Each structure stands twice: as C-alpha cells, then as structure tokens.
Chains A and B, each alone.
Chain A
Amino acid sequence: NAGVTQTPKFQVLKTGQSMTLQCAQDMNHEYMSWYRQDPGMGLRLIHYSVGAGITDQGEVPNGYNVSRSTTEDFPLRLLSAAPSQTSVYFCASGRDGEKLFFGSGTQLSVL
C-alpha cells in the first residue's frame, strides 16, 4: 500500500513547454484533488474530482487541465508553462467521512 504517489519530485521547465504531473493512489479513494503551495499563500485548490469521469475547477484553475479516467489516477497537465506556475504541487485523495492523504509533492520551476 503506497498511499498517494506523485511523480516527478522535481522538474525544471522552460516557458512555453508542456508537461504532466502524475498522481496515483492505491487506496480506492473516491476523491482526488490538486493544490499548489506558494510562500505565504498556504495551499490553493487547482482542480478536484469526486469520482472517475468527474472533475471540477477549484480556486486557481487557469493554465491547468485535469482528467480522471480511472479511480487511481489524476494527472495535472500544464499546456504552456509560465514562470507564475513555479510552485510546489501537492495531490491529495480521500473518501467520504475520512481524512485526506497528501502526496509528497512536486517542486516545479519554470524559467
């Protein structure tokens, strides 16, 4: 039981490049969500999903796409990276009535 697995742990991109941050959970959780953490800003919700095939926008969705084709996976796509997307990204999963589990994070730098 690995919990919530995020890859990669570190990534450097150039402005305009695209990439996908991977998130997978093996706990059969219904809910998954993506957050970004910037200094002094706390964690802000990007997108979330309450089940396979269902996604919705959070507080800061612009510049990011998600999909949830399986219960286990919830990838976050940056279509054209910008320096403002330099941040630490956390994925989380959970189920009804239980706590959220966070992944170990991805540190992304966009130059």
Chain B
Amino acid sequence: GENVEQHPSTLSVQEGDSAVIKCTYSDSASNYFPWYKQELGKRPQLIIDIRSNVGEKKDQRIAVTLNKTAKHFSLHITETQPEDSAVYFCAASYRGGADGLTFGKGTHLIIQP
C-alpha cells in the first residue's frame, strides 16, 4: 500500500518568514495530494490540494508543488502569521480520495512572535 513520509515533525519560524513542509510518497499510482491544517481539538480542514496533472498550485499565501518523478510534494506558506500555528498533514490517494487517504504523521508549525 501507499506510504507517506512527512518532514519535519516540528517547525519553528519567525512571524513573517516562510515555512516549507515536505512529503514523499511511495505509490506512483497516487494522483491526489491534499494538505490539511488541524488546530488543537478540532477536525482536519483542507487548506489546499493538487492533482497529478498539475505541478504547482497557489492560493494567496499558500502554495503546493508536486514532483511526480521524484514522488514528493511540498507545502509553502509565505508571510507567516500567528494564526498559521497548527499541525499540518499531507496525504495521498490514487482515487482522488474515494479509497481514503494515506496521511503523513504531521508537522507542528510554531510561529514565533
């Protein structure tokens, strides 16, 4: 089955700086890669996703890049703000999520004032 590795497990950045979280996946058939943000005690919330026919996608301060050849994808957050502090999860699926998602173990992002 699919295996998703996520790094780093904890990331501390100064407010206003950029943050990058990286994930690798094992199954070349995977074609859907979402990123979720989870605040303490809350449900995961989708922040951005990318499909395998696209190399990059942006939404305001958030971007995701995908390298299918290397089987890795990354989340980029620019101009970080205190409200960006949370745990971020990457995931992969080969049926667009229909067969469920395989998640990475998460990155705890800490924004230092």
Q: Which residues does A use to contact B, with CB under 8 Å?
A: 30-31, 33, 35, 40-45, 48, 50, 56, 58-59, 90, 94, 96-97, 99-100, 102-105
Max count, chain A CB within 10 A of own CB: residue among B45, B89, B106: B106
Q: How far is the CB of B106 from chain A (nearest CB, A)?
A: 5
Q: How far is the CB of A8 from chain B (nearest CB, A)?
A: 15
Contact assessment for A90 and B44 in the assembled complex, using a CB-CB cutoff below 8 Å = yes
Contact assessment for B34 and A100 in the assembled complex, using a CB-CB cutoff below 8 Å = yes
Contact assessment for B102 and A45 in the assembled complex, using a CB-CB cutoff below 8 Å = yes
Contact assessment for B43 and A58 in the assembled complex, using a CB-CB cutoff below 8 Å = no
Chain B residues with Cβ below 8 Å from A35 are 100-101, 103
Can you offer 23 A-B residue contacts whose CB atoms are under 8 A?
A: A31-B97, A33-B100, A40-B105, A42-B104, A42-B105, A42-B106, A43-B44, A43-B91, A45-B101, A48-B98, A48-B99, A48-B100, A59-B1, A59-B102, A96-B96, A99-B34, A99-B46, A99-B49, A100-B34, A100-B46, A100-B101, A102-B43, A105-B43
Per DSSP, chain B at the interface is loop
Interface residues on B, range: 20 to 34
Chain A residues with Cβ below 8 Å from B6 are 42
Nearest residue, chain B, Cβ from A102: B43
